[in-house]
Amino acid sequence: MTRRFLLSESKLEESAAIALLDDSRSGGIVTFVGRVRDHARGRAVSLLEYEAYPEMVERVFEQIAGEAKARYAIDDVVVHHRVGTLKVGEVSVVIAVSAEHRAAAFDACRYVIDELKARAPIWKKEHGPGGALWIDERP
């Protein structure tokens, strides 16, 4: 993967996102890796399905990254998100932020994941013993 903002049906790798942030100005890189867990909202989860509006997602990722750069003293941002069916334990999202100092990288990374969940046109369906349930994580 060579793109900073990516929606993919393929497995995501944290190391691939980090490799895109190779900049000697940056003293630190902070990553967030979201994985499918085996439970949510008091019920068992066997798998997740992600659907998205691909024509918009990468633009929203880029917009959020631009906002993070304007708010925090960071060098760069990478956002990769899966679509399709994911099993428990699989990586659903990778966010990587580089900065000269760690505090800005941590703050920006949290901003990016929170804004992604609130604004990106990505929808999640949880499957479990009681059937499937669409989840709205927007505030």
- The pLDDT, as a whole number, for residue 138 is 73
Residue ranges and CATH numbers for the domains of the chain are 5-135 (3.90.1170.40)
How would you write the pLDDT of the chain (139 residues) with one tens digit per residue?
579 999 999 999 999 999 999 888 899 999 999 999 999 988 999 999 999 999 999 999 999 999 999 999 999 999 999 999 999 999 999 999 999 999 999 999 999 999 999 999 999 999 999 899 898 877 6
User: What is the reported pTM?
Assistant: 0.94
- Per-position DSSP letters for the chain, written without gaps between them: ---SEEEESSPP-HHHHHHTT--TT-SEEEEEEEE--SEETTEE--EEEEEE-HHHHHHHHHHHHHHHHHHS-EEEEEEEEE-EEEETT-EEEEEEEEESSHHHHHHHHHHHHHHHHHHS-EEEEEEETTEEEEE----
